[in-house]
Amino acid sequence: MREVAITGVGAVTALGDLDATFAALLEGRSGIGGPGPFPGKGPVAAIEGGPHLTSALALRAARDALGDSQPPRMGVVGGSTSGDMIVGEQEYEAWFRGGPTGPRFLWSQLCDRPAEILARTLGATGPRLTLSTACASGASAVGVGADWVRSGRCDAVLAFGADALCQLTVHGFGSLQAMSPEGCRPFDLARTGLSLGEGAGALLLEDLQSARRRGATVLALVTGYGTAADAWHATAPHPEGRGARDAIRAALGDLPPERVGYVNAHGTGTKHNDEMEGAVLAEELPAAAVSSIKGAIGHTLGAAGAIELAVTVKALVEGVLPPNVGVRDPAVPVLQEPVRRHVEHAISVNFAFGGTNAAVRLTSVHV
């Protein structure tokens, strides 16, 4: 069975590209634009995508991950909750107001649009797939992409998650009364909900031996992936984290839990998620340092898992763990300052609507 190397990472968030985002996290800076449920636009506003902003975000992160590389037999696996749905919303509004419209939006708004654009633009000749498993989409894309490389289906996979905000997303979370009026504070005793974000993350996954033969720099390894369904509720997680535990255990495989040194948590800042996740992580990964980055960039939905994995790769490479930005009075032990620590194994977790749970284990090559 092949080993899966990560040879490139990229991201775009309200704080900037991956390097700018990671630097801001270590400084405790937030890209959430003051009180309210939305992030500051920041660098996202400079990306020209129009109604195809999700695809534009995905392409920016993917190009950063690829750099000058063009691996052979490269597949594309994307994750998104809404794709370029802004196109369809604008077409509907034009029709509603009596303006001209046509069938072109039927395909250009679909969730698989970003993956199709990436494959064509970047010359990826391998298979392509889009996953839409709510807020676990980005993590699941990386997990499935790693499985493709491990099984020999592809020599390399560009795995990404991307989402731009649209009316469906904003009004959907508004109807659930899940958005914070004052900004997201994951795992804080006084948390009041989530802040929405937009952005993209991308990871270039390759067969380790192939990567070494072409002289690629190996940043980390993908050594485990787990996904599981709660089958409990449309939006709320299982109160005892049934699916979350199963996903984490699958990602661990035979690795003893005490060897995991860091967890990039889902940490939405909502009551039910934080309570469930805090208890699950304390019991399943008791030795790991924990932090969520959503207090700095907001909840980027289908992009979250990919962005958080890109940040986790940076943490392994740099030997410094980012703090939980925004927390004042933590309900569970989380990092409140950056910690210089080289860890061998890290796990990033995402828990989504519909009871979908995903966990991806990374292993450092720098310890």
| Residues noted as catalytic | 135, 266, 299
| CA separation for the pair 364, 5 (Å, rounded) | 10
Helix (H, G, I), strand (E, B) or coil at 359: strand
Q: Tokens 């491990």 belong to which residue? A: 150
| CA separation for the pair 269, 195 (Å, rounded) | 8
Helix (H, G, I), strand (E, B) or coil at 347: strand
| CA separation for the pair 110, 99 (Å, rounded) | 22
β-strands 4-13, 220-229 pairing? antiparallel
Burial 187-219 (b: 16+ CB within 10 A, else e): bbeebbbbbbbbbbbbbbbbbbebbeeeebeeb
| Max CA pair span of the chain | 63
Position 73, amino acid: R
Task: Give how far Cα 230 sits from Cα of 100, 133, 227, Å.
Answer: 44, 13, 10
C-alpha dihedral sign at 176, 356, 327, 309: negative
* Alpha helices (H) along the chain: 18-27, 53-66, 85-96, 105-108, 113-122, 137-151, 167-175, 208-213, 242-252, 271-284, 294-297, 304-318
Among 238, 188, 181, 135, CA closest to 38: 181
Task: Give how far Cα 331 sits from Cα of 152, 187, 228, 244, 295, Å.
Answer: 44, 6, 26, 19, 15
Give Cβ neighbours of residue 88 (< 8 Å, ≥ 6 apart).
105, 106, 109
Among 219, 217, 237, 239, CA closest to 228: 237
